């Protein structure tokens, strides 16, 4: 999938390149006159140490159909570092694609693992505009090469430990319409498709790139014009129980299976069932699925415009837990989210929009992982990428959505437990705060989308704070800028939030 075109209403804007990497250690601004500093010893925000929710599996990006452009970019190593490195987002999940052009006929069993991926960037091959009409063959080659190169870099250079792959379509010959677009998997090929996915795992394992999880059906309800395949929950449930789970239980017992991945998180106008209903239907009707290590997943796109119905689009479906998955102790992942509707922007207002959505998925839907679509891509008309990489193969630009994502990804270690927050009525209701603990360390991410600075006391319930609190601020002019340590007074910290900011706090408990 190159872009979620059903949602797109693109207005191309021209933006000057900029860099927002202020490394100053200036103190946070003093609170506005409207904010009153509270008396020491009383906590208006409490992290409930013993009220644990979901375990955080991590954060990541997809490259999938955009591997070719990142692979060809002359500053690809810098971009990879921005995504996975210590100076970047510290991501631990990479989402790729099981391409339908690996096996193009019954006799083709090649996953192209022996192709030269260390070509010189001066090779004329890289000068092709891969997505242009007439370059499908070159695009397929570049995607396969690019995915292999990116995955190897993520694993070997940055130790990314969760390599997941979704499948937009089975090979064309396995489908009832003979095409990689639309259509269904032919029932006579159910087992062959399960074997295909297992063979893909073996191919990547042969290169030391062990898949963490495989999804057999990306956006199963959507007949896209690009790689796509339709699945009802009955078709997918039957395939999982009768074919994929038995095959993986025998051949890939260390690889989890992702199911769901509908375009919307929740039902849309009772027309599209959404990921929650889809996964509930699978688990209710095929309970054996819950006995295998599976991940229930959804995508976070706004409601599409439905032809003929006078309904608003660009409205986010309800963000709530997958109750049936939680009842079966199945982790729930947000495996794709971006903005293909609004015109391209790098603004802090856009960053705050996404910070609030990240908070809602973590705190309201209890997701264990958030994966952005896509990490880096050359489409300058939408906000689908965290990083814009220009087709000149040299320029790139980050965004405030990239930066606020880092306020979560850089400071919430995989394996952390989310803990509940008790927020007093004196704290502005528009301020959002989520909390996480990892052994004796804790993290709180606070979002202040208002035009006034705020001050409140932060403490722990069920544990005692130990030592100073660190703070990292992102706002219009700063990115993850470390502030002066906050010294506790009478067992609490007095913290400041600048207007229109995201601030991450990290500390230790006794």
∠ at Cα 239 (233, 244), nearest 5°?
130
Residue 395 contacts by C-beta under 8 Å, 6 or more apart in sequence?
17, 389
Three-class SS state of 199: helix
Share of the chain above pLDDT 90, in %: 82
Residue 3, pLDDT above cutoff 80? no
Residue 392 contacts by C-beta under 8 Å, 6 or more apart in sequence?
none
369: preceding bond cis by omega (within 30 degrees)? no
484: preceding bond cis by omega (within 30 degrees)? no
As a whole number, mean pLDDT of residues 65-82 equals 96
pLDDT at residue 32 in the model: 36
Q: What is the Cα–Cα distance from 260 to 238, expressed in whole angstroms?
A: 14
Please write the tens of the pLDDT for every residue from 429-475.
999 999 999 999 999 999 999 999 999 999 999 999 999 999 999 99
Residue 202, pLDDT above cutoff 70? yes
Residue 20, pLDDT above cutoff 80? no
Question: For the whole model, what pTM was predicted?
Answer: 0.91
CA dihedral 340, 345, 347, 353 (to 10 degrees): -10
Distance from chain centroid for Cα 307: 29
As a whole number, mean pLDDT of residues 245-274 equals 91
What secondary structure letter does DSSP report for 198?
H
Residue 8, pLDDT above cutoff 60? no
How long a stretch of residues is the chain? 510
pLDDT at residue 22 in the model: 39
**Residue 59 confidence class, pLDDT cut points 50, 70, 90:** very high
Residue 192, pLDDT above cutoff 90? yes
Q: CATH classification of 57-409 is 3.10.450.30, yes or no?
A: no
Lowest mean pLDDT among 109-118, 200-209, 260-269: 260-269
**Residue 399 confidence class, pLDDT cut points 50, 70, 90:** very high
pLDDT at residue 171 in the model: 97
Please write the tens of the pLDDT for every residue from 204-238.
999 999 999 999 999 999 888 899 999 999 999 99
pLDDT at residue 96 in the model: 98
**Residue 343 confidence class, pLDDT cut points 50, 70, 90:** very high
Q: What is the Cα–Cα distance from 165 to 429, expressed in whole angstroms?
A: 39
pLDDT at residue 268 in the model: 74
DSSP string, 144-195: HHHHHHHHHHHHHHH---EEEEE-S---GGGBTTSSSSSS-B-GGGHHHHHH
Residue that the structure tokens 């200036």 belong to: 26
Please write the tens of the pLDDT for every residue from 274-292.
999 999 999 999 999 999 9
Give residue limits of the domains in the chain. Answer: 25-53+417-509, 57-409
**Residue 28 confidence class, pLDDT cut points 50, 70, 90:** very low
Residue 332, pLDDT above cutoff 60? yes
pLDDT at residue 269 in the model: 66
- The larger pLDDT score, comparing residue 451 to residue 311, is at 451
Q: State the number of CA atoms in the 13 A half-sphere of 469 facing the CB.
A: 26
**Residue 17 confidence class, pLDDT cut points 50, 70, 90:** very low
Residue that the structure tokens 């599976």 belong to: 294
pLDDT at residue 42 in the model: 64
Q: What is the Cα–Cα distance from 80 to 406, expressed in whole angstroms?
A: 14
Share of the chain above pLDDT 70, in %: 89
**Residue 134 confidence class, pLDDT cut points 50, 70, 90:** low
As a whole number, mean pLDDT of residues 337-365 equals 96
Residue 418, pLDDT above cutoff 50? yes
Distance from chain centroid for Cα 236: 23
**In whole numbers, what is the pLDDT of the chain averaged over residues?**
90
pLDDT at residue 121 in the model: 97
**Topology of 25-53+417-509 in CATH?**
Immunoglobulin-like (2.60.40)
pLDDT at residue 307 in the model: 73
Q: Regarding beta strands 93-97 and 162-166, do their DSSP bridges make them parallel or antiparallel, or are they unpaired?
A: parallel
Lowest mean pLDDT among 11-25, 136-150, 253-267: 11-25
pLDDT at residue 291 in the model: 97
């Amino acid at each position: 999938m190159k872009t979620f075109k059903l949602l797109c209403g693109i207005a191309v804007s021209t933006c000057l390149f900029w860099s927002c990497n202020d490394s100053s250690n200036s103190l946070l601004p003093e609170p506005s006159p409207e904010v009153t500093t509270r008396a020491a010893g009383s906590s208006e925000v409490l992290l409930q140490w013993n009220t644990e929710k979901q375990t955080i599996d991590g954060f990541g990006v997809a490259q999938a159909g955009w591997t070719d452009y990142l692979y060809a970019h002359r500053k690809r190593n810098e971009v990879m570092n921005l995504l996975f490195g210590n100076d970047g987002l510290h991501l631990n999940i990479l989402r790729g694609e099981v391409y339908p052009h690996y096996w193009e006929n019954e006799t083709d069993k090649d996953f192209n693992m022996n192709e030269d991926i260390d070509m010189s960037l001066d090779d004329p091959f890289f000068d092709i505009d891969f997505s242009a009409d007439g370059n499908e063959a070159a695009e397929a080659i570049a995607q396969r090469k690019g995915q292999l190169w990116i995955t190897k870099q993520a694993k070997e250079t940055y130790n990314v430990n969760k390599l997941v792959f979704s499948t937009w379509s089975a090979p064309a010959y396995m489908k009832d319409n003979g095409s990689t677009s639309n259509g269904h998997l032919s029932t006579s090929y159910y087992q062959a498709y399960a074997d295909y996915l297992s063979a893909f795992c073996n191919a990547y394992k042969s290169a030391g790139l062990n898949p963490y999880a495989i999804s057999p059906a990306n956006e199963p309800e959507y007949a896209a014009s690009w790689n796509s395949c339709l699945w009802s929950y009955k078709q997918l449930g039957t395939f999982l129980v009768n074919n994929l789970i038995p095959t993986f239980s025998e051949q890939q017992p260390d690889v989890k299976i992702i199911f769901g991945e509908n375009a919307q998180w929740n039902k849309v106008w009772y027309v599209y069932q959404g990921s929650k209903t889809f996964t509930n239907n699978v688990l209710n009707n095929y309970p054996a699925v819950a006995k295998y290590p599976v991940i229930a997943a959804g995508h976070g796109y706004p409601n599409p415009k439905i032809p003929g119905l006078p309904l608003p689009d660009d409205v986010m479906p309800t963000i709530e837990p997958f109750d049936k998955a939680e009842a079966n102790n199945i982790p729930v992942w947000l495996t794709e989210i971006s903005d293909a509707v609004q015109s391209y922007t790098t603004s802090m207002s856009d960053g705050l929009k996404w910070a609030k959505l990240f908070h809602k998925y973590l705190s309201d839907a209890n997701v264990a992982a958030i994966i952005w679509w896509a990490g880096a891509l050359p489409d300058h008309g939408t906000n689908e990428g965290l990083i814009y990489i220009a087709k000149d193969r040299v320029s790139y630009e980050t965004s405030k959505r990239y930066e606020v994502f880092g306020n979560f990804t850089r400071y919430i270690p995989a394996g952390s437990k989310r803990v509940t927050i008790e927020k007093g009525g004196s704290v502005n209701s528009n301020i959002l705060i989520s909390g996480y603990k990892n052994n004796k360390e804790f993290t709180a991410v606070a979002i202040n989308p208002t035009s006034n600075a705020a001050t409140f006391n932060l403490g722990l319930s069920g544990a005692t704070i130990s030592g100073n609190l660190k703070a990292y601020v992102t706002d219009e002019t700063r990115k993850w800028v470390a502030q002066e340590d906050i010294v506790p007074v009478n067992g609490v910290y007095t913290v400041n939030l600048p207007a229109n900011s995201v601030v991450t706090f990290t500390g230790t408990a006794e």
